[in-house]
Amino acid sequence: MSQPEAPWQSIARRKQQEQSNLIPEAWKLKTRPAANRNNVLSVPRECGILSDKEIGITEKYDATALVKELAAKRLKSVDVVTAFCKRAAIAQQLTKCLTEIMFEEAIARAKQLDEHLERTGKPVGSLHGLPISVKDSFKVVGRDASIGYASLCFKPAESNSALVEILLQAGAVIHCKTNIPLTLQALDSHNNVFGRVLNPANLKLTAGGSSGGEGALIAMRGSVLGVGTDVGGSIRIPAMANGLVGVKPSHGRIPYAGQENGSIPGTETLGIRSVAGPIAHNIRDCELFFRAVGDLEPWTFDPECVAQTWDQQVVRSAPRTPSLSDHMRRLRIGIVRTDGITTPLPPIQAIFDEIAKALRSNAAIEVVELDITSLLSQCQTIANGLFGVDGANTAFDLMEVTSEPISPWLATRLRRKKSLTAEKVRDLQARRNALQTRFLNIWKSSGGYWKDASGGSRNLDVFICPVAPHPTPAIDTWNTVSYTSSFNLLDYPAATLPVRPIRVSDLNNALTEQTATPNGWEKYNRKLWNDDRSVFLGGTLCVQVVSQCRQERVLLQALSKLQDSLAVLKEDKAVKPKL
């Protein structure tokens, strides 16, 4: 006798059928990739669904180029939006990266924008006609923001999130919302309603979380620019997993108001503040996003936003155009190789050696070794405490309404606890504030954390560190967030920058000998290496770049200089056989 169906199962079936019905039959794959094919990135151009023109639109342009072509009327928004909707439909069928599908409405809006431009000669805004995807937590009128909970399905939003309003006023076209993990607290994007997001570069690898759907969709070019959220690494981790650029700003730079995060309103103000930011294929598209949002005065949409446009941010001379003869104006970058908790695996250590060598060969950059393990090792304890303000009780309440099971990655990591007392929250916040104050010294030449070889007194501009102590791992095996959540705790802007694909040669080095008794994270990390490490192939080695609080312009300009300096590392120097 079969077991009776749980409430969540019927809800999930209805929601998935709704998704399927919103994909036109002509956009559905006639054949599936072979079962042994792990890389599906090229399926959209192979499957015959996209025309040559649509392949060109989705592959030859970035977001910055598209808005220029659209404003100049060399491309029509309806053609661009249709092309990305079709590609998003293909991505969904291969990776389950979507939640809410809004193709029909998006194409209708694109036609209206084309008509407006033809009639007035003026674009609606700086993002006129550009298709943009957003994470499921953003509210869009008439659409669910279920964030993977069956109990929140079929409850459409009655108002837009603040950032959605801004994007629409800038002329963007929101064509879909993207998949996330149950509870938004996992690093592998799986939920019982929409399923598991798969990594299109290697279906065996995680796509990351919690903005995993954004990462997979953009990697497949089903969107040219996406918006994720980040409270512990949820933009930077999917960016690493999918070989993309992802930027987490400081709180107050980008509107966050009006999100669905599965908690009682006000809870987030007691812990670590989540922030919204872009995921894209390149740095200039991230800057396009920040500039577009900043120019529309986000503080008039969200009272917690800083009253400062992108151009009003102060940028010191170093990240702009330094004089090579003036050592005081070189971009000064610190290198942080470990957080003092989990030792990076050999491929991460090796890529940092390569990065340091490449940067030191650039006369416009000054590199210093930055040892802040004594501070970083304190971050995780405080962060873990602040992540558990409500003891996960709201999450379990939402699951129990429909008898919904917890996701695999969370099964051994999340359980009900007592909510923290006001005194405990106060003490954790006091410890965080004290740590933030101590961290101010790491930027100063007089702070004692690095040596100033030039003998001057100029501060660090940015520092770099790993995104994780391992390459992108298999599904449900991501280790620790200590390399990312530390900068949420400190409220520092931080970004993921891809460096190069992982190579077979990266898997040949031995583990570093450990003298101290390894902690749980260290043991787990070593297990990842000692198991079948060939699973790492298909991933991208990345670096995390960090700037001081609310210095997003410094961060992005430093990212551009780093990208230029590290371009040489993309070349595969392995000996190739003669043909």
Catalytically annotated residues: 135, 210, 234
The tokens for 8 are 């969540």
DSSP notation for 364-391: TEEEEE---HHHHHHHHHHHHHHHTTTT
- What type of residue sits at position 48? G
Bridge partners (DSSP) listed for residue 542: 498
Question: Is 231 flagged in the annotation as binding?
Answer: yes
The tokens for 500 are 């190069």
Question: Is 184 flagged in the annotation as binding?
Answer: yes
Decide: residue 416, CB within 10 A, 0-12 exposed, 13-18 middle, 19+ buried: exposed
Q: Distance (Å, rounded) from C-alpha 395 to C-alpha 368?
A: 44
Q: How far is CA 408 from CA 49, 163, 186, 401, in A?
A: 35, 32, 10, 19
Bridge partners (DSSP) listed for residue 496: 246, 544
Question: Is 232 flagged in the annotation as binding?
Answer: yes
The tokens for 362 are 């650039």
Contact 138, 275 (CB under 8 A): no
Contact 556, 326 (CB under 8 A): no
C-alpha closest to that of 378 among 516, 491, 490, 525: 490
Give the total residue count for the chain. 579
C-alpha closest to that of 343 among 109, 198, 208, 516: 516
Q: Greatest CA span in the chain, whole angstroms?
A: 81
Q: Distance (Å, rounded) from C-alpha 142 to C-alpha 67?
A: 27
- What type of residue sits at position 343? T
Question: Is 456 flagged in the annotation as binding?
Answer: no
Question: Is 210 flagged in the annotation as binding?
Answer: yes
Q: Please, what is the Cα angle at 407 between 402 and 413, to 5 degrees?
A: 120
Please, which residues have CB within 8 angstroms of residue 129's CB and are 6 or more apart in sequence?
Answer: 66, 67, 70, 75, 76, 77, 80, 81, 110, 113, 114, 117, 123, 171, 173
Q: How far is CA 269 from CA 189, 209, 262, 425, in A?
A: 25, 22, 14, 11
Q: Distance (Å, rounded) from C-alpha 511 to C-alpha 505?
A: 14
Question: Is 161 flagged in the annotation as binding?
Answer: no
Bridge partners (DSSP) listed for residue 498: 542
Q: Distance (Å, rounded) from C-alpha 74 to C-alpha 52?
A: 17
Reduced to 3 states (helix: H, G, I; strand: E, B; else coil), residue 292 is helix
Please give the annotated binding residues, written as ranges: 184, 210, 231-234
Please give the annotated binding residues for substrate, written as ranges: 184, 210, 231-234
